[in-house]
Amino acid sequence: MFGDLFEEDFSFVSNNQCGKGKKSKSKDTEPPAPREFTKLSGIKNQGGTCYLNSLLQTLHFTPEFREALFSLGPEELGSLEDIDKPDVKVRIIPLQLQRLFAQLLLLDQQAASTTDLTESFGWNSNEEMRQHDVQELNRILFSALETSLVGTSGHDLINRLYHGTVVNQIVCKECKNVSERQEDFLDLTVAVKDVSGLEEALWNMYVEEEYFENDNLYRCGACNKLVEAAKSAKLRKLPPFLTISLLRFNFDFEKCERYKETSCYTFPIRINLRPFCEQTQLEDSEYMYELFSVIIHKGGCYGGHYHVYIKDVDALGNWQLQICSKDPINDLFQEEESKLMTNEKVQKDTENIKEMENPLTILKGILSEEESKQIPVDQLGQKLLEKKGMSWNKKYRKQYGPIRKYLQNHSQIFQLSPDDNKVSLKEMYHQLQFGSDCQGQVLQSPSQNNDVQWTSESLCTVLKDSASGSHWFDLNDSKVQPIKEKDIEKQFQGKESAYMLFYRKSQLKRPSEAQANPRYRVPGHLLNEMDAANIELRKRRMDCDSADNNIDLRLHLGSHYKLYNGALHPSLSWKESVLDLTTDKRKTLGDLRQSIFQLLEFWEGDMILSTAKSLPAGLHLYQTLDGDEMTLGGIGLADGADVFVWNGKEVGGMEVLPGLDHEPVLLNVLRLAGYNEGGKGQHFIESQHVVPCSAELSTLWKALASPGGIILMNRSGSDKEVENWQVVPEEDMRKTVRIVGLADGSSILVLDSHDQSLVNVASGNLTAFMHDISWLQVKNFCQLEADEKQVKITATVETVMSDIKIKAIQELQLGEELVDDSCLRPINRNGKLLSPVPEDYTVKEAELKMGSLLGLCHGKAPTSTQLFLYFVVGSDLQGAPEMEIVVEETASVRECLNVMLKKSGLPGDNWHLRRIDWCYEAGEALSEEGARLKELNVCSGDTLVITEGKLPPKGFLKVPIWWYKPLMHFGQQESMQDQVNCMMGTLRVSPAGDSPTYIQSDIGLCYAGNVEISGEAFLEDLKIQAMTLPFFQELSVPSPEFLRAWTLESKRPGKLLRNNQQQLNEYKLGGRTEICIEPLQKEENLGPSDLLLRVQMGIPGERDYYHSVDLVWDISKECTAWALRHRLAAHYSLPVEKIEIAKYFPEKFEWMTISSWTQQISKRKRKKKQESLQSAPFHLKDGDIIGVKNLLLEDGKDFSTVRDDIGKETQRQLAMEKKKSRQAQRLQNNVFSEGKVATKHRKPEVALSINVGIFR
């Protein structure tokens, strides 16, 4: 859809008229291009309007629609000139459509603009850049037109052409009573999923019947009882033009995403609708329709591009392509071989033409020698290897791609089999035999073929459609291309496939005067407007053609120049030395010379014209212009060219050497200066020198370097890294400046003998460069805050950190004793001291940037084998202070923990270590206390957490146990707000002790204690150990079978642990899994196919429920809505049709109705498996709450309660508070977010609309 995103709007008839600028060269000032060989006009894409263009072209190529619109005159629609008059009603949309259709018919431009039309829709630039659906646009545009044409003779235009009716009937099997309902349509929407084509879809919709039987009966109004019946639909009235929309886009409920159906979906060119109609006694012509437009969508469900295949009913376009030449041998393959010869230099002398080994000629030769008509593609590659001694991949793949793709791109010559595995020459190329020379050779007469026509004077290749009169075009925004009718079959499937089909009745015949007559039925005022516009277009194109051939030349007068430092420089001002001359590039060089003679008041001697170019060193001359009979374009003079006018020998008395070999090069020459105490250390002085590119480096060395000195070169300039500087070796001294790669802006570094310590002579590279010598900042943290000082220390990337520390101590005037009792620590942007840097590291190894801030602190820096670690104590990581230690990386977890306990002063050994996760919370435990820190990938700068409690032995689990009792029906004495606050309460974390703590009344949870148990123990063992906790001893639990175990997820029961004889390891319980135990009134042993649901019946007349009860549902056979309804109906002893059920989502305070859909499906579809409730959108699982409504006692199907209303309002208020808090936080952090790139999110989808005035 965004193929022409940046295409400019050059429409001549748009509201914005182009001004005339002589040399602007911008497309805004150029007239639009004329129509191409098809004689049809495309439509420009405004950025995202390809869907609009495709539909407009379809309407334009519907002559009956176009002419009906043209029949409405200004007396009914008004005039565009009266738009701004407040008292005049102008029907602007139909007027702009008339104008656009007239442009598409008559205006000689490649593509029309829809800017004026979309402005009449009320669209802004955002709407024009936004993608929309063409099926949606079709309905909205028709609605806007109907509204715009109210009160005119065209008020029924849409209904007259596109309106049809469908009748739905239900026939009672007993009394034969027929109940019917009629529906209107402007387009038919048909299914694509699981359907092979259009005819099958129509058959399913209008032939196949649906039956009401068994448990799903129909209530007959005549019989007044439930009976068996048959439902069907038929087409009652057929419109002249039938529009069919294909449902290509669907929604995958499992993946929760949209997708596009790309399966094969066939549709006929001609279709008989008799089998689908209610009345079938009419003639065949009443039911026959012909396809005339196919709108195609390329891409996916979130974006793509539209174009349209259209049949030219009125023969307005030129479908035939004819290429004529008097030399059939050269021109027959002109298009194909010209592509391969673009990079070859064709010589003018025919005696020196060499045979070009392009793959097209070679492959044609191989195939022409084959006796069989077809050859496998793989075998073709093998024969190419045998003939040329080189494979396709090695010789041609890089330039032309894979051989199979190459054959497909030249489909006019090569014929591939349907499976693309075999290839042959097309028949017309088999029959053309060419001789090796032109003497005595006769072109053999081919067989009569409609695709090739021969004459005695020339060979003409004409492409014709196999079906006479069936002229199809591909209208793709601005581009219009002819296609064959069989090309439509390519759009049956794939990412680029048909999306909308447009059929017209076969009996609709066009008058003969409309054929190839674009002026037919066009109103007179539009004819006059288009004629005047075409005259103006021709005039503008002539002016533009003249402007395109004018070139501006800058004439440099040799008498006003001097030669200085190897280049020409003006001796006077630029204005006095250079003259501007505008001329036509189609004129000759002699004409240019004559113009210059006339321009100059006098000129003595010969006049030589040379091309020149401004270089950094100055002006340089290149080629002398000869051949006064040649045109300026032929000798290569372009717009803005520099021409030097001189005598051809000298300038200012000095000889000038023109040409590429004498081109001056401007070099930067650098020399190292002495040490500067106030700067960055060593620095350089820079000067510029101009040398000829043909000068040898030895000459350069003699001129710049002192005896014993060396020079280094940098082809990239002076502002680069050390690695880019190289010493010029002795063997390169005889080479020229150009050969070694020095160009304008390159740098030369001259080093005397005492500076050569910076150079590694063996590798030829610098060891340090002046730009690498910078500084680091060091701040004193060894004294009181009031005495903190900051100094700059000069350093390079290779400076050792210990040297920087010593220099900093000296600059800060601190005692020498700090050398052995201090370290350097980087400081981040928040002012936090990071881990110390090892003193044996260089600046580069420490990954420090020049200018970084370091802190000089007490304490020794860790060595390369030691770790610097932070640690905090307890669970409140945000408020707890961080402490620091240094340990060996070979220390064990236990040893590291002991060091931390000693420093923090914590007693006992009831502690363990955990890592910090990405949320800055206590994360994974370091459970292997004997493992080394290095083995566990603990690095310097990591933060660890000391957590209370011992870790269980290896293979054991430490499981927190919670007591769980499901919520019962709330008492009336509690206020609704208290109940909601209780339901939204947070779960308190238990303390370290095992005593029972706060009981949460909302979800019935109470912490009971911890259980240490082996992972190989059974679930029954876990329940038994839980029964031994002090909390459970106060309760009377007969056996483990009276307990139900759940995992705790998001402060609520999650997964139900069933099967007491299953090992805990098989449940894959994590190290932080918590278990809640629920008491039961009777023993329970749930099987793997049993689903446990909490079922509650609604209280009639109240928005509330009775106490929930546990319901065990066997889902081994099916888990569908139908099965659940029957299970609940049996449980409550109610008829299935008299209950409504819904699932409760407590975290959202919402109920989702489990549909009681009873529509019958056909016998063919009845076999399909119904959707499982365990999949989207219900995701039914153990413990879910199911609400039941008894329709015998209440009519309402509202499952929500007052608590739900209050809960939603509370959630909304919390969300608003969070939003305000986030906004405040963003405003506060704006200062830190400068320079960051915002993430680009997908724009939300916006409904399409067209604004229409009121004309009633």
> What is residue 456's predicted lDDT score, i.e. its pLDDT?
32
**pLDDT grade, residue 749 (50/70/90)?**
confident
- Across the range 44-68, mean pLDDT stands at 94
Q: Which of 24-33, 340-349, 402-411 has the lowest mean pLDDT?
A: 340-349
Residue 44 main-chain phi, psi, to 5 deg: -70, 145
- Across the range 148-168, mean pLDDT stands at 94
Q: What CA–CA distance (Å, rounded) separates 565 from 1027?
A: 102
Listed in sequence order, the residues at least 6 apart from 983 whose beta carbon sits closer than 8 Å to its beta carbon are 1002, 1003, 1146, 1203, 1207
Burial class of residue 900, CB neighbours in 10 A (0-12, 13-18, 19+): buried
Q: Is the pLDDT of residue 991 over 70?
A: no
Separation in Å, CA 211 to CA 181, 230, 1151, 1160, 1169: 17, 5, 32, 6, 18
Q: What is the mean pLDDT of the chain?
A: 80
Tokens of 1170: 């119904």
Counts for the chain of helices (H) and strands (E), in that order: 29, 59
Q: Which of 204-213, 337-346, 711-720 has the lowest mean pLDDT?
A: 337-346
Any idea of the CA torsion for 1219, 1220, 1221, 1223, to the nearest 10 degrees? 90
Q: Is the pLDDT of residue 460 over 60?
A: no
Strand-strand pairing, 650-651 and 608-615: unpaired
Alpha helix ranges (H) inside 231-311 = none
Q: Is the pLDDT of residue 6 over 70?
A: no
- Across the range 378-385, mean pLDDT stands at 76
Question: What secondary structure does DSSP assign to 505-555, as a single string?
Answer: ETT----GGGTT-TTTT--HHHHHHHHHHHHHHHHHHHHHHHHHHEEEEEE
**pLDDT grade, residue 328 (50/70/90)?**
very low
Q: What CA–CA distance (Å, rounded) separates 869 from 889?
A: 11
User: Which has more confidence, 281 or 682?
Assistant: 281
> What is residue 67's predicted lDDT score, i.e. its pLDDT?
96
Look at residues 213, 230, 307, 300 and name the one whose alpha carbon lies nearest to residue 262. 300
| 567 bridge partner residues | 564
Q: Is the pLDDT of residue 967 over 50?
A: yes
> What is residue 993's predicted lDDT score, i.e. its pLDDT?
40
Any idea of the CA torsion for 198, 199, 204, 209, to the nearest 10 degrees? 160
Tokens of 469: 């009169």
pLDDT, tens digit, 9 for 90 and up, residues 754-779: 555 555 544 545 554 444 456 788 98
Listed in sequence order, the residues at least 6 apart from 1057 whose beta carbon sits closer than 8 Å to its beta carbon are 1019, 1045, 1046, 1047, 1067, 1075
- Across the range 1202-1207, mean pLDDT stands at 91
Q: Is the pLDDT of residue 202 over 60?
A: yes
Strand-strand pairing, 1075-1079 and 956-964: parallel
> What is residue 18's predicted lDDT score, i.e. its pLDDT?
36
- SS3 percent helix, strand, coil of the chain, rounded to 5, is 25, 30, 45
What ranges make up the beta strands (E) of 1147-1204?
1150-1154, 1184-1190
> What is residue 1255's predicted lDDT score, i.e. its pLDDT?
60
Q: Is the pLDDT of residue 966 over 80?
A: no
Q: Percent of the chain at pLDDT above 90?
A: 33
Residues present in the chain in total: 1256
> What is residue 443's predicted lDDT score, i.e. its pLDDT?
34
Q: What CA–CA distance (Å, rounded) separates 718 from 582?
A: 41
Q: What CA–CA distance (Å, rounded) separates 476 from 473?
A: 9
**Is the distance from CB of 434 to CB of 377 less than 8 angstroms?**
no
Look at residues 80, 155, 121, 124 and name the one whose alpha carbon lies nearest to residue 1253. 121
Q: Is the pLDDT of residue 514 over 80?
A: yes
Helix (H) or strand (E) holding 288: strand 288-300
Give the residue carrying structure tokens 């099967």: 1059
Q: Which of 3-17, 202-216, 246-260, 718-732 has the lowest mean pLDDT?
A: 3-17
Residue 470 main-chain phi, psi, to 5 deg: -95, 90
Tokens of 143: 């609605």
Q: Which residues are catalytic?
A: 50, 305
Q: Is the pLDDT of residue 475 over 90?
A: yes
**Is the distance from CB of 1092 to CB of 1080 less than 8 angstroms?**
no
**Is the distance from CB of 426 to CB of 415 less than 8 angstroms?**
yes
User: Which has more confidence, 1204 or 786?
Assistant: 1204
**Is the distance from CB of 128 to CB of 49 less than 8 angstroms?**
yes
pLDDT, tens digit, 9 for 90 and up, residues 519-553: 999 999 999 999 999 999 999 988 888 888 889 99
> What is residue 673's predicted lDDT score, i.e. its pLDDT?
56
**Is the distance from CB of 471 to CB of 276 less than 8 angstroms?**
no
Q: What CA–CA distance (Å, rounded) separates 901 from 720?
A: 52
**pLDDT grade, residue 347 (50/70/90)?**
very low
Burial class of residue 749, CB neighbours in 10 A (0-12, 13-18, 19+): buried
Alpha helix ranges (H) inside 152-208 = 157-162, 198-206
Indicate the residue type of 1029.
L
Question: What secondary structure does DSSP assign to 16-75, as a single string?
Answer: SPPP--SS---GGGSPPPPP-TT---EE---SS-HHHHHHHHHHHT-HHHHHHHHT--HH
- Across the range 987-1010, mean pLDDT stands at 53
- Across the range 822-839, mean pLDDT stands at 86
Q: Is the pLDDT of residue 667 over 90?
A: no
pTM: 0.46
**Is the distance from CB of 1154 to CB of 1173 less than 8 angstroms?**
yes
Q: Is the pLDDT of residue 289 over 90?
A: yes
Separation in Å, CA 186 to CA 166, 280, 319, 498, 828: 11, 22, 31, 19, 68
Q: Is the pLDDT of residue 355 over 80?
A: no
pLDDT, tens digit, 9 for 90 and up, residues 576-606: 889 999 998 888 998 998 888 888 877 777 8
**pLDDT grade, residue 434 (50/70/90)?**
very low
Listed in sequence order, the residues at least 6 apart from 919 whose beta carbon sits closer than 8 Å to its beta carbon are none
- Across the range 1050-1054, mean pLDDT stands at 82
> What is residue 232's predicted lDDT score, i.e. its pLDDT?
93
> What is residue 112's predicted lDDT score, i.e. its pLDDT?
96
pLDDT, tens digit, 9 for 90 and up, residues 1061-1115: 888 888 888 767 889 999 888 888 888 899 999 999 999 888 899 988 999 999 9
